[in-house]
């Protein structure tokens, strides 16, 4: 069973809000797939690439007023903003202004001193790393700020009376670590076999998604190889929010209407829809050629091997935690490269059950710098036939913009 589809679902609501926010300033018609031609009419030519696509673009080619991130892939800018916000413990309004009525972010404006200062801090951080660490990202925003808007320049006071120092900690006993193929082999064996897992072409998951203040909502997720994806969340009032892609067009459907996704949202859905993508543990060797077992750590009271996998120097990498006793995957921490540091997100797996001869986690907790979400699935089916039409972008009803 591949595990990629469990990642990043907590961003569902955040992405929805962002898309709705931006869509208000654009016409739905410009983002919508055209209606199918009448019966007997000639077929329309394929749709051109969306003009808002950031694929292959640098930051200055996609965004306005880029000064210190020139040459950086456009896809890394939003993760970089999340990294800075989490490092300082702030939100977007700390640096960016909102204008208009209703108010909307104008990210290109330099009105706030904090934004101008942030540029200087990025240059300072870059200089420190270049001059002292051969360009490696050792010092980041989090190094000095550690969750505070302003760095803590003085040491903390002692919280207890001074006393005689205790004995020095003993050195941990040397422990021989297994090689990565052995750890992965144990995982493949316990889930039911890699060959069986590779024959899976569709997944359907149904359960609940809990975010924030214990707000639980029913969720249904449909996936089909190689790049079809659909997630449906049902609100307490019965309305739904759909988010999907057919591999060509990414889209969002809410009670306000249907709109085409673009920019970071489209790129995120494209990655999420990659059935055999780079978050697939079965393809770990191909996508992360550099692997090593770097030690052990306790995860929920279970001793786990830490397998670290790198794609390339300075690129994305992952730490995977495999149960030392039974071989099951307990946690994946993915580090996304940004120009200011690697942005982490974490997924924890538990409650493994057998489905069609393959063990699948029915309880998933996704954590990031933005918050946490819990997915509890009640039904998981594999290789259920799914029509391609299920992933096509729907059309707004007549008369609705």
Residue extents of the structural domains in the chain: 176-391
Distance CA 88, CA 108 (A): 21
pLDDT band (50, 70, 90) for residue 55: confident
pLDDT at 13: 40
**Mean pLDDT of the region 260-286:** 73
**In the predicted structure, residue 233 carries a pLDDT above the cut 60:** yes
Residue 50 has pLDDT above 60, yes or no: no
Query: Residue 21: pLDDT above 70?
Result: no
The radius of gyration computed from the CA coordinates of the chain, to the nearest angstrom, equals 23
Pick the residue with more confidence: 128 or 401?
128
Q: Per-residue pLDDT averaged across 68-85, rounded?
A: 92
Which class would CATH give 176-391?
mainly beta
In this prediction, residue 48 carries a pLDDT of: 41
Q: How confident is the model at residue 199 (pLDDT cuts 50, 70, 90)?
A: confident
Residues 135-193 pLDDT 10s: 989 999 999 998 999 988 888 776 666 667 777 776 666 678 999 999 999 999 999 98
- Percentage of the chain exceeding pLDDT 70: 80
What is the three-state SS of the chain?
CCCHHHCCCCHHHHHHHHHHHHHCCCCHHHHCCCCCCCCCCCCCCCCCCCCCCCCCCEHHHHCCCCCCCCCCEHHHHHHHHHHHHHHHCCCHHHCCEEECCCCEEECCCCCCHHHHHHHHHHHHHHHHHHHHCCCCCCCCHHHHHCCCCCCCCCCCCCCCCCCCCCCCCCCCCCCCCCCHHHHHHHHHHHHCCHHHHHCCCEEEEEEEEEECCCEEEEEEEEEECCCEEEEEEECCCCCEEEEEECCCCEEEEECCEEEECCHHHHHHHHHHHCCCCCCCHHHHHHHCCEEEEEEEEEECCEEEEEEEEECCCCCCEEEEEEECCCCCEEEEEEEEEECCEEEEEEEEEEEEEEECCEEEEEEEEEEECCEEEEEEEEEEEECCCCCHHHHCCCCCCCCCC
- Residue 279 pLDDT level (bands cut at 50, 70, 90): very low
Query: Residue 44 above 60 pLDDT?
Result: no
Q: What would the two tokens of residue 390 be?
A: 């299920």
């Amino acid at each position: 069973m591949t595990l990629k589809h469990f990642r990043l679902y907590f961003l569902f609501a955040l992405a929805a809000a962002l898309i709705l926010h931006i869509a208000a300033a654009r016409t739905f018609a410009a983002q919508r797939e055209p209606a199918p031609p009448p019966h007997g009419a000639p077929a329309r030519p394929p749709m051109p690439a969306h003009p808002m696509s950031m694929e292959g673009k640098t930051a200055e080619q996609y965004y306005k007023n880029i000064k210190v991130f020139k040459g950086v892939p456009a896809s890394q800018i939003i993760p970089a903003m999340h990294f800075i916000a989490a490092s300082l413990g702030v939100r977007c309004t700390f640096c960016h202004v909102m204008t208009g009525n209703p108010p909307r972010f104008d990210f290109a404006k330099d009105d706030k001193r904090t934004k101008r200062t942030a540029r200087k801090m990025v240059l300072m951080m870059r200089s420190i790393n270049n001059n002292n660490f051969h360009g490696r990202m050792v010092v980041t925003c989090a190094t000095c700020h550690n969750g505070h808007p302003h760095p803590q320049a003085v040491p903390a006071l002692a919280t207890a009376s001074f006393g005689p120092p205790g004995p020095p900690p003993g050195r941990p006993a040397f422990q021989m670590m297994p090689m990565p193929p052995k750890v992965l082999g144990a995982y493949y064996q316990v889930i039911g076999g890699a060959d069986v897992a590779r024959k899976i072409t569709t997944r359907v998951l149904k359960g609940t998604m809990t975010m924030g203040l214990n707000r639980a909502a029913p969720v249904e997720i449909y996936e089909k190889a190689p790049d079809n994806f659909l997630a449906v969340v049902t609100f307490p009032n019965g309305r739904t929010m759909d988010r999907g892609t057919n591999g060509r067009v990414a889209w969002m459907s809410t009670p306000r209407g249907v709109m085409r996704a673009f920019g970071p949202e489209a790129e995120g859905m494209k990655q999420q829809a990659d059935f055999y993508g780079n978050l697939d543990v079965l393809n770990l060797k191909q996508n992360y050629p550099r692997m090593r077992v770097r030690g052990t750590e306790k995860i929920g009271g279970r001793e786990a091997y830490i397998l670290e996998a790198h794609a390339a120097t300075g690129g994305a990498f992952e730490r995977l935690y495999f149960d030392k006793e039974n071989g099951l995957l307990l946690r994946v921490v993915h580090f996304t490269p940004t120009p200011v540091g690697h942005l982490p997100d974490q997924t924890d797996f538990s409650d493994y059950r057998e489905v069609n001869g393959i063990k699948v986690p029915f309880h998933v907790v996704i954590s990031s710098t933005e918050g946490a979400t819990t997915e509890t699935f009640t039904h998981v089916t594999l290789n259920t036939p799914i029509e391609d039409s299920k992933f096509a972008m729907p059309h707004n009803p007549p008369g609705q913009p």
